[in-house]
Amino acid sequence: MTSLQIYVICCLSFSAFLFVILFGQIPAFHHGPIGWLNRLLLVHIPHLFSVLDQNLFRGILTRVFRRVHNYLWNERNPLVIVFYLTLLVAGAYAFFHNGQEITSQWGFFTWTYILICLSLPCISLFLASTSNPGRITEQNWVQAFRKYPFDNCIFFPQTCSTCKFVRPARSKHCRLCGYCVSRFDHHCIWINNCVGEKNARYFLFFLFSTCQGLVQGCFITGKYVYVRRNRDIALIPSLWNSIRLHRAMGCMFLMSFLISPIVIAFLAFELWLIYTGMTTNESQKWQDIKHLVEDRKLYREVVNGKQRLYLLEDAPPNAELLTSMSQVDNIYDKGFKQNLYSVLTGN
C-alpha cells in the first residue's frame, strides 16, 4: 500500500469518526446506525476498556484517560482552535508553496478576493470565541427573564443551583463556562465558547466562512489535478494518478473534499434550527416530547390561550391526548425571517 493510499484511508476514517462523534447524538441520528456507533465509541468501548484496566492495571490507565478526556471535553481549552488554525495555515502554506502555476496568473482582484476568503474564518473564529454568548448575571437577569415566556412544554421555571436564580426560559447553565447563557444553543469546542443569543451570529458566520473556504479550496485544487490528468484513461484512475503525481495539491483536494460535507452538514443543521425556531438544546427537548407523543403518554390543556403539557399520570380530566406533533405549539418559532433576524441581530 502506498503512502498516498494510507493517507486517503486515514482521511476517510478520520472524517467518518468525526461525523459519528459530532452528529451521533443529534435527534435525527440518535436511533439509527450513526447513533449506535456513537454510543459504541463513547459508552461501550470506554466501559470495556475500564473493566480490562481495572483487572490488569488497577485502573491507572482509566484515571489518566479520564483526566485527558476531562481536559479535552469538560474543561475550556484552546486545543481545537489551535488544531483548526494549524490546518488553515498549513493548507494555505502548502497551496501557495506548490501552486505557483495557479497564483502566477492571478491579478490584483483575485489576490484580494482570496486573501479576504482566507481571513474570514480567522476573523469569525476570533469573534465567536471571544464574544459574550449572552451571560445572565444578577444585573441583566430581569431583562433576560422577561424576554421569553415559559412555554410549560420544554421550559418550566427552575432555579439554577449554581447561579441561585430562576433560570429564564430558553437559557441553560453551562458547566464549562460556569454561568447561565441566554437562548443557549450548545457549548462548542471549535470556538471554545458557548453559542448563545449574543454570539450565534458569529458562530453562523464562522460556519459559513469555513464552508466557503473549504469549497473554494476543493474547487481550485480539484481543478488543478483535473486538468493534469491523463486523458487517455478513465476519469477516476486518471484523477488518482494525477493526485499521486501532484501530491501536495492532491492531498489538499482530498482533505477539503472529505471535510466539506461535514461542515456543510453543520451549517445546514444550524439553518434548519433557525427555520424551525429552535436551538440545538431545544431540538433535543423537542425530540423527547416527540417520543412521548408517539408513545401516547402526553396530554395537553389550553388555559387562557396558553398550552400546558402533562404526563399521563398528572393530566387533568379535560386534557386532550396528543397524537401528533402538529398539536403542540412552539411559541418561540416566529417564522424563518424573524428567527433569522433574531440570530443576526443577537436579540
Backbone torsion region of residue 2, taken as left when φ is above 0, otherwise alpha when ψ lies between -120 and 50, otherwise beta: beta
Q: Which helix (H) or strand (E) holds 9?
A: helix 3-23
- For Zn ion, the closer of residues 216 and 284 by Cβ is 284
Instruction: From 62-70, 101-109, 191-199, 243-251, give the range in contact with Zn ion by CB under 5 A.
Output: 191-199
What's the CA gap between 298 and 283, in Å, rounded?
18
Is position 160 an interface residue for Zn ion (rule: CB under 5 A)? yes
Angle in degrees, CA 11, 15, 19, rounded to 5: 170
Nearer residue to Zn ion within complex by CB, 154 or 194: 194
DSSP secondary structure of 178-234: TEEETT--EEETTTTEEE-TTTHHHHHHHHHHHHHHHHHHHHHHHHHHHHTS-TTS-
Q: Which of residues 246-275 bind Zn ion (CB under 5 A)?
A: none
Residue 162 binds Zn ion, judged by CB under 5 A: yes
User: Residue 115 class from Cβ within 10 Å (0-12 exposed, 13-18 middle, 19+ buried)?
Assistant: exposed
**What is the smallest separation between the CB atom of 201 and Zn ion, expressed in angstroms?**
17
Segment lying near Zn ion (by CB under 5 A), choices 101-109, 187-195, 236-244, 334-342: 187-195
Active site residue 194: no
Only one of the segments 12-20, 177-185, 245-253, 263-271 lies at the binding site for Zn ion (rule: CB under 5 A); that segment is: 177-185
Task: State yes or no: residue 163 binds Zn ion (CB under 5 A).
Answer: yes
Query: Is residue 176 a contact point for Zn ion (CB under 5 A)?
Result: yes
Contacting residue, 135, 170, 172, 187, with Zn ion by CB under 5 A? 187
Catalytic annotation, pick one of 188, 194, 218, 251: 188
Q: Decide if residue 74 touches Zn ion (CB under 5 A).
A: no
Cα atoms in the 13 Å half-sphere on the side-chain side of 29: 17
160 or 271: whose CB is closer to Zn ion? 160
Of the candidate spans 5-13, 183-191, 242-250, 339-347, the one that interacts with Zn ion by CB under 5 A turns out to be: 183-191
Q: How far is the CB of 187 from Zn ion (least distance, A)?
A: 4
Q: In a 10 Å sphere around its CB, with 0-12 CB exposed, 13-18 middle and 19+ buried, how is residue 301 labelled?
A: middle
Of the two residues 35 and 168, which places its CB atom closer to Zn ion in the complex? 168
Count residues near Zn ion (CB under 5 A). Answer: 10
Task: Specify the 3-state DSSP secondary structure of 88.
Answer: helix
Asked whether the beta carbons of 80 and 190 are under 8 A apart, the reply is yes
Q: Name which of 42 and 176 has its Cβ closer to Zn ion.
A: 176
CB of 124 to Zn ion, least distance (A): 18
When asked if residue 173 is in the footprint of Zn ion (CB under 5 A), the reply is: yes
| Grid cell 482521511 in the structure block, residue | 11
For residue 321, list its beta bridge partners: 299
Is 180 an interacting residue with respect to Zn ion (CB under 5 A)? yes
Query: Per CB under 5 A, which region of 53-61, 106-114, 175-183, 264-272 contacts Zn ion?
Result: 175-183
Q: Is 194 in the site for Zn ion (CB under 5 A)?
A: yes
Query: Should residue 200 be labelled a site residue for Zn ion when binding is judged by CB under 5 A?
Result: no
- Strand (E) or helix (H) holding 269: helix 247-276
Q: Applying CB under 5 A, does 169 fall inside the site for Zn ion?
A: no
CA dihedral sign of residues 263, 100, 227, 239: negative
In this structure, are residues 241 and 290 in contact, taking their beta carbons and an 8 Å threshold? no
* Binding of Zn ion by 177 (CB under 5 A): yes
Contact status: 174 vs Zn ion (CB under 5 A): yes
The residue (of 270 and 322) whose beta carbon lies closer to Zn ion is: 270
Cβ-based neighbours of 115, under 8 Å, separated by 6 or more: none
Cell numbers for 204: 453562523
**Is residue 102 near Zn ion by the rule CB under 5 A?**
no
Closer Cβ to Zn ion, 163 or 309, answer by number: 163
The residue count for the chain:
347
* Residues lying near Zn ion in the complex (CB under 5 A): 160, 162-163, 173-174, 176-177, 180, 187, 194
Residues known to be catalytic:
188
